Chain A
């Protein structure tokens, strides 16, 4: 009886070992998967330039069977002359406005009303190794009214606003606009623009508006 049991256990172990061996050799013999053609072109997060700003008929949210859709202006047509950046609408809106390539009204009806521009830079020292943040009031007041941000989003007092990238990514503080309408957070250096050793110019790289920068 004991002998039988031993024999059985032996055969079972043998069969197991054999299958293991076979599968191992098979795996080794199998040809390595062929590298996919054009590996670098396949990246769903990095669309080629030709696929950016699709026309309404192809953008995946407009209904192509709707009559009015065909009448809508394709973004590319409007963006042709405008300076480029690498994210968002792929349009540098601040520069476009500064160079007067677009002339958006500041008033609903009066095309001649001029914005009240506040030329005041706020420097925020950041904890990590990233350059400090320079917040330019002038670029923002070109587009917005004071009351769009103060006091609901930002308390207009030094040291009263706690801001973190996590909050921005969650759509709070700067993230109310940046990441939704204004340039997204992928453009790190547009905000983090002042080097810690003090050698940085302070102004973000865009040099958008014509002249009149404050003496630092």
Chain B
């Protein structure tokens, strides 16, 4: 179980009788043990359904309520999450989500407002949204913000739709091309394609930055814009960013900023001053709202004056009398992206986090995130190859090339072995332009003791690779299931449960 984090020594021993996999509800089923009984019929019985709509062969599990509760409790106890383990998943900023965010989100005035209430009855909620718009524009240096997008990916779409609207509005229909660095998040080219553009990848130079010569060669009058992350996905600050944005602007294109790595630069440098025209913000990364898992998210977008007319609606504005209102009618807007006012509960958490830290606190967040990543970089540099040997920002990319060449152990094996030591693996095989990549983002919320333990584990795993490579290739050993057959799962996926002995 995750709760009992094995120490370094005990994890060396391969346990043969580890925890068992939790059975499925269907496997726990006993005929005649339902967990629910329909109440006595107290209305006239309707005519029965048409026989073709009925079936006898639907194998729903029959199981008592207590056993259902235990089933889900067991699954929850096995959940590997930031509240249970170190989670250095690069590019995802798995920082601690302070509990005060949850306190605020549960205040009745925040949790129980209805999105269709008249503006005058929800002035406090609108003020919170207005102040969050202001805080995000202040942090990033832009003019205006939308809180509408429901996730970072939708924020990207909003940003690129605004860039497209800007070109269309000027009557410039030639622009069909969007430039994206080869280290970019896969969502960037996907977003450009959704907006009707084709993408051209710009290679990374020897220093891990955008290749300026290749960029210049691609910048002509068909460029709609460029999508760029800074710090980039190699965890490096693009030192020539102003030159990059100038080159794109000179060609008539706009520069979209992917705010995925905003956690590295809060209070230190403002993206608008680097030359970006807009930026989306992943509040679940930088501002400690819960990470996805299918729940609500938010991806606010901040824009320069140039793009302000195209912001999605509604926006929250403050009138001359100090009251707050939602503005729905803006002639050049790209329109509505999300029902109501976005995910208000998530936005309330982000606002809480920003206000709890204040300007100095947010700066310290980024400085500590960068310090922690560089501490790991210095501690691991002799055993794992650095993709680029420079000071990194909030995350570092190392290569497991040497372990593969010397011991036939791959980065995937290292990642699986980390699970045995009670650590969530870092991002692996990303960015795509680094061989056997491990992308490690410790975040600012981890103690030095946790970072030191991670370093000891990574060193131990490198020793194991030399002494007993098979131990790594078969890892994990201490989990309910061992190495999963990902290849067969991808080639021949089984998408429906079938009872033992059935066809599927």
| B is bound to A | no
**A interface vs B, CB < 8 Å?**
none
**B interface vs A, CB < 8 Å?**
none
